[in-house]
Amino acid sequence: MAKEEGYRSRAAYKLKQLDDRFHLFKGARYVLDIGAAPGGWLQVASEAVGEDGLVVGVDQNPIENLELDNVETIVGDILDEETLDEIRELLPGSVDVVLSDLSPNISGAWEVDQFLQIDLARMALKVSQDLLRRDGWFVVKVFMGPEYEAYLKDVKSAYRKVNVVKPLASRKGSAEVYLVARHLGRGRRPR
């Protein structure tokens, strides 16, 4: 279905379902997508913010050109100060939505994979605290497992409203869920 509708990945439908439920992009102009390759979420966000908006996608792997005027991509590590500087140069101040569908290279050793994925989610949380506007949305993929509860607690200490959601487009046996958070609170990192 994704190929038929021109999306780069079926993950695009996960974001569409989250947006249908939470209206993530209502009034949004600036979106940051962390771990954006191959670009399905960039396509959805681009449609949502329209030609007056800007979507910036960051990934360590190059993202094939989407040929969308309101999408810019950066190849880099989100924890690198140079990458953050590139993001800040493209975006005029705080962003409205931070998206993270980051996933490690799956090894098959579940505890290792879950730990690595939570580590990526922690990086995304840090970036959201640095770059998101106070009433913006933070959407992050998380693998359920031993580290999940501690991470959920961290997100809840940073955001006033946090929902745990499993989109219908997720595979049935998948341990992934999405945290959809809003209203950055006392956990905001200083600039």
CATH number of the domain at 117, please: 3.40.50.150
Q: Under the phi-then-psi rule, with left for phi > 0, alpha for psi from -120 to 50, and beta for the rest, what region is 156?
A: alpha
The answer to the question of residue 6 being in a domain is no
**Is 141 known to be catalytic?**
yes
Cα(108)–Cα(77) distance, integer angstroms: 24
Which pTM does this prediction carry? 0.91
Cβ atoms of residues 125 and 155 within 8 Å: yes
DSSP class of 188: P
Domains identified in the chain, total number: 1
Q: Is residue 183 part of a domain?
A: no
Asked if the model's pLDDT at residue 2 lies above 60, the reply is no
Of 2-6, 11-15, 149-153, give the range with the top mean pLDDT: 149-153
- Of 11-15, 17-21, 46-50, 106-110, least confident by mean pLDDT is 106-110
**What pLDDT sits at residue 4?**
58
Q: Left, alpha or beta for 186 (phi > 0: left; psi -120 to 50: alpha)? A: alpha
**Pick the catalytic residue: 3, 14, 141, 153?**
141
Amino acid 119: pLDDT? 93
Residue 18 placed within a domain: yes
**133: in domain:** yes
Q: Which residues of 1-25 are buried (b: 16+ CB within 10 A; e: fewer)?
A: eeeeeebbbebbbbbbbbbeebebb
Residue 154 lies in a domain: yes
Note down the domain range covering 56: 11-168
Q: At 82, which helix (H) or strand (E)? A: helix 81-90
